[in-house]
Amino acid sequence: MGKPTGFLEYERVQNPCDDPKERIRHFREFHPPLEEDQRRCQGARCMDCGVPFCQSGIRLGGAFTGCPLHNMAPEWNDLIYHGNYEEAYKRLHKTNNFPEFTGRVCPALCEAACTCGLHGDSVTVRENELFVVERAFASGTVKPDPPKVRTGKRVAVVGSGPAGLAAADQLNRRGHLVTVFERDDRPGGLLMYGIPNMKLDKTIVERRIDLMRAEGVEFKTGVDVGRELGAGSLTAVFDAVILCCGAKSPRDLNVPGREAKGVYFAVDFLTSTTKSLLDHGLKAGTFISAKGKDVVVVGGGDTGNDCVGTCIRHGCASVTQLEMMPRPPRERADTNPWPEWPRVEKTDYGQQEAIAVFGHDPRLYQRTVKEILRDEKGNVNSVVTVALEGINRDGRTVMEPVAGSEETVPCQLLLIAAGFVGTDKYIPEAFGVETDARGNIRTAEGTYRTGVPKVFAAGDTRRGQSLVVHAIAEGRGAAREADQFLMGYTNLI
C-alpha cells in the first residue's frame, strides 16, 4: 500500500468524456485518458484491503461480484502510484490476457466490490487497468514473446472471440501449436463485429491479433467449421479441439407481421455497420442504415444501447428502446447490499446521446412489441407496443401484457436486441456433443470437457451469453484442462 491515506486524500476522477453532440459525428472512441499524475493519484486510492473483494470473482445474491479473472488489482494499483508501470503490466497480464479489451468494455465487477465503494466511491480499477496496458504498448513493454520450446501437440480453437483468443494465447504460451478457425472474414468474433467501433476501436483488436500471430498462433478466417470444414477433419488432425463459438442464435420476436422488411437482429445490424466502416469507411452503402428513420430497439441491455448509439450516428429521425422489465431503482435497495452487484439504473453512452439529441431518454420500461405493421410494399412502417406487468406464477415473476395499453409507434427500422438462446445448432451436431436446455454445449460438471474425447468447450457457447471478462476466464480454464489432457500435468493458471 503505497499511500495509506490515499483513499482519504483523493476523490475518484474518471477519464473525461467527449460531448455527446460532438462524438456522434464519428465512430471513434471518445474517452481521452487522464494525465499521468492524475492516474497515479487514482492508483493511490486503493486501500490494499485485508480481504480484497475486487478480485473475488464469486456468485453472491444471484449475480457475480468481483473479477472472474481474479485480477490482482491492489498490487498493480500500488505499482501505478509508485510509477513502476512495467511491473504493473506484468502483474496485470499474469491473470488477464487482454486488459486492453476489458479496460474498455467490461462493466467493472471489480469496482462494484471495491471496499472504497462501501461508504464512498470505488477505485477506478478498470481505467487504471487500461492505463497500464496502453502505456505498456506505447513504451514497447509489450512485444512478441514466442515460446522457446514447442511440445509438438496441435490444438484447434473454433471461434476467435474473447474465449477463443484467451484459450489460444494460453496454449501457445505453453508451447502447443495452435490454429484458430473463424467463420467471419476477420478474427475477433464478438470483439470485432459485436461491439461498435466507438466502444472498442478495431485497431485495438487487430493489434492483439497481430501480436498473437507474431508469437506463433495461426488464424484461418472464412472457415465455417461444421459446414465447410467437417468436425472429423479437425479431430483427426488435432490433438485437442476447443469450441468457442459463442451464443449466436438470437432470440426472435414471435408477433404478427414479423416477416416485414426492415426488421433485423441487432447483431446483424451492428455487424453490417462495423464491416462497412472497416471495408469502405461507410461510404459504399453496404450496411443497414438508420438514416432518416424512426427506429425501435427491442431490448434494454448493452446490445440495445449499442444499437441506439449506432443509429444516432447514422442520423436516425428518432429512436425508442423497449425494455420488458421495470425501471431499476436509482440507488441500491436494502435487499441489494455491498458487495453484491448493484442493481441500479444505468444510463449508458447511447442513451446519453439520445437525451442530448432528442431531449429525452429513449427507454420505455415494461413495454414490448405486440404487432408489426407494414405498408403496401411489405416494409415496416409502425409497431404496436403493449405495457407489461409482473404476475407471480409458481414463485417466479412473469411479465404479462396489460389489456387496453396498446400504443402505435412510428417505425421504419426495427432492431431485435432481446438476447440469445444458445450456440448455432449445427456446431454441436457436427461434433456430436450434447447441449443443455438453454441450447449451450454441455460439459462435465465443473469442467470444460464435452462428452466427446479431446473436445472441449468454453465461453458463451458453454455458459450462455455473458461478459467479455467471463469469456476470457472460460478460455483460460479450458486451456488449462486441455493442457492437462495433452501433457498429463499443467502449469497454466
- In tens, the pLDDT along 297-345 reads 999 999 999 999 999 999 999 999 999 999 999 999 999 999 999 999 9
Question: What are the pLDDT digits (tens) for 452-481?
Answer: 999 999 999 999 999 999 999 999 999 999
* Phi, then psi, of 436 in degrees rounded to 5: -90, -170
Whether 6-139 and 154-248+421-487 share one fold: the answer is no
Which tops the pLDDT comparison, 10 or 285?
Answer: 10
Question: Mean pLDDT over residues 360-366, rounded?
Answer: 97
DSSP H or E run through 99: helix 99-105
Is pLDDT at 434 greater than 80 in this prediction?
yes
pLDDT at residue 62, as a whole number: 86
Measured between alpha carbons, how far is 163 from 212 in angstroms, rounded to an integer? 14
Measured between alpha carbons, how far is 321 from 353 in angstroms, rounded to an integer? 13
Q: Is the dihedral of CA 24, 26, 31, 32 positive or negative?
A: negative
Question: What are the pLDDT digits (tens) for 119-172?
Answer: 999 999 999 999 999 999 999 999 999 999 999 999 999 999 999 999 999 999
Is pLDDT at 8 greater than 80 in this prediction?
yes
For residue 57, count other CB atoms closer than 10 A to its CB: 20
Question: Mean pLDDT over residues 175-198, rounded?
Answer: 97
Closest C-alpha among 43, 39, 103 to residue 69: 103
Question: Mean pLDDT over residues 212-235, rounded?
Answer: 97
Is the omega angle on the peptide bond into residue 339 within 30 degrees of 0, that is, cis?
yes
pLDDT at residue 1, as a whole number: 63
pLDDT at residue 213, as a whole number: 98
Question: What are the pLDDT digits (tens) for 226-251?
Answer: 999 999 999 999 999 999 999 989 99
Q: What is the mean pLDDT of the chain?
A: 96
DSSP string, 426-471: HHHHHHT--B-TTSPBP--TTSSB-SSTTEEE-THHHH-S--HHHH
390 CB-contact burial (10 Å; exposed 0-12 / middle 13-18 / buried 19+): middle
Model confidence band, residue 3 (pLDDT cutoffs 50, 70, 90): confident
Q: Quick one: three-class SS letters along 323-385?
A: ECCCCCCCCCCCCCCCCCCCCCCCCCHHHHHHHHHHCCCCEEECEEEEEEEECCCCEEEEEEE
pLDDT at residue 147, as a whole number: 97
pLDDT at residue 396, as a whole number: 87
Question: Is the CB of residue 126 less than 8 Å from the CB of residue 108?
Answer: yes
Domain covering 154-248+421-487, topology: FAD/NAD(P)-binding domain (3.50.50)
Is pLDDT at 2 greater than 80 in this prediction?
no
Question: What are the pLDDT digits (tens) for 20-56?
Answer: 999 999 999 999 999 999 999 999 999 988 899 999 9
Is pLDDT at 394 greater than 70 in this prediction?
yes
Is pLDDT at 393 greater than 90 in this prediction?
no
Question: Mean pLDDT over residues 292-299, rounded?
Answer: 98
Measured between alpha carbons, how far is 152 from 231 in angstroms, rounded to an integer? 21
pLDDT at residue 364, as a whole number: 97
Structural domain boundaries in the chain: 6-139, 154-248+421-487, 263-416
Class assignment of domain 6-139? mainly alpha
For residue 358, count other CB atoms closer than 10 A to its CB: 15
Percentage with pLDDT > 70 across the chain: 100
Superfamily of domain 263-416: FAD/NAD(P)-binding domain (3.50.50.60)
180-184 long-range contacts (CB < 8 A, ≥24 apart) are 180/156, 180/217, 180/218, 180/219, 180/220, 181/156, 181/157, 181/220, 181/223, 181/225, 181/229, 181/234, 182/219, 182/220, 182/221, 182/222, 182/223, 183/221, 183/222, 183/223, 183/224, 183/225, 184/221, 184/222
Q: Return the C-alpha cell found at 56.
A: 473475488
Question: What are the pLDDT digits (tens) for 79-105?
Answer: 999 999 999 999 999 999 999 999 999
Q: Where are the alpha helices (DSSP H) in 215-348?
A: 231-237, 266-280, 302-314
Q: Please report, as a single letter, which amino acid is at residue 85.
A: Y
Question: Mean pLDDT over residues 242-264, rounded?
Answer: 96
pLDDT at residue 285, as a whole number: 83
